[in-house]
Amino acid sequence: MYEFDWSSIPGALPFLWEGMKVSLEITVTAVLFGIVWGTLLAMMRLSPVKPLGWFAAGYVNLFRSIPLVMVLLWFFLIVPQFLKGVFNLDPNTDVRFTSAMIGFALFESAYYSEIIRAGIQSVPKGQVSAASALGMTYAQAMRLVVLPQAFRNMVPLLLTQAIVLFQDTSLVYVSALADFFGAAYKVGDRDGRLVELLLFAGAVYFVLCFAASQLVRRYQKKLNAHVAH
């Protein structure tokens, strides 16, 4: 029978915390980037300018058809080489991590864009007509009338997507970036205690994501009750 030995975890906590900070940093950056770029993509997709719509549709469908692992590998292995070639960068500059980060954010934006598009479409058309009747331009109608309402309806979905994204960050493992999972794996590998460290990592992810999703659920209930009255 396997004998557990959890003794390597307490000493490794500071190192694991450093990893967790990287995971959280990636999450926050990608969520912010995803919401901004995702909103732009959604507005392009819904705009009356056809080429913009095609671009956004192509972008979203492309990123949603490729595995995240492939996107990360592209941005970790291929894109840095390409950039070095084009811009004649010093061969010693390491842009691989930044590049992987950008790839991750670009990927997640495609998913955010779909949520935001649905949110915008959930606002009744009459509101846009009313806004233009009041003399607002399309941009003003979007900014002052449609988006504020759309975002309020979307908050629970955006947060749920953030939880998914936090779980996705573990995949930066393929780019050897030391996030929480990478740190846990390293400690386990070093001490020959992979079993304990992997179970510990799983438990930490579970507690964080479960707690976060319960909070979102409660918030959603409150929002629904508010709308019902």
Partner 1 sequence: MSYQWNWGIFLSPAASGDGSYLSWMLSGLQTTILLSLSAWLIALALGSLMGVLRTVPHKGLATLAATYVEVFRNIPLLVQLFIWYFVLPELLPFGLGDAFKQKLDPVTQQFVSAMVCLGFFTSARVCEQVRSGINALPRGQKNAGLALGFTLPQTYRHVLLPMAFRLVVPPLTSEFLNIFKNSAVCSTIGLLELAAQGRQLVDYTAQPYESFIAVTLLYLAINVIVMSLMRVVEAKTRVPGYLGGK
Least separation, in Å, of the C-beta of 77 and partner 1? Answer: 6
Least separation, in Å, of the C-beta of 55 and partner 1? Answer: 17
Least separation, in Å, of the C-beta of 101 and partner 1? Answer: 17
Least separation, in Å, of the C-beta of 44 and partner 1? Answer: 22
What is the secondary structure of 155-177 as a DSSP string?
HHHHHHHHHHHHHHGGGGGGGT-
> Measured from the CB atom, is 102 or 128 closer to partner 1?
102
Interface contacts to partner 1, rule CB under 8 A: 1-2, 62, 65-70, 73-74, 77-78, 81, 85-86, 167-168, 170-171, 173-174, 181, 185, 194-195, 198-199, 201-202, 205-206, 209-210, 213
Tokens of 217: 């659920």
Q: Confirm if 104 and 72 have CB atoms less than 8 A apart.
A: yes
> Measured from the CB atom, is 40 or 83 closer to partner 1?
83
> Measured from the CB atom, is 141 or 163 closer to partner 1?
163
R_g over Cα of the chain: 22
What is the secondary structure of 120-138 as a DSSP string?
HHTS-HHHHHHHHHTT--H
Report the half-sphere exposure of 63 (CA within 13 A, side-chain side): 22
> Measured from the CB atom, is 71 or 142 closer to partner 1?
71
Cα–Cα distance, 81 to 225 (Å, whole number): 53
Least separation, in Å, of the C-beta of 203 and partner 1? Answer: 9
> Measured from the CB atom, is 128 or 159 closer to partner 1?
159
Number of Cβ within a 10 Å radius of residue 77:
14
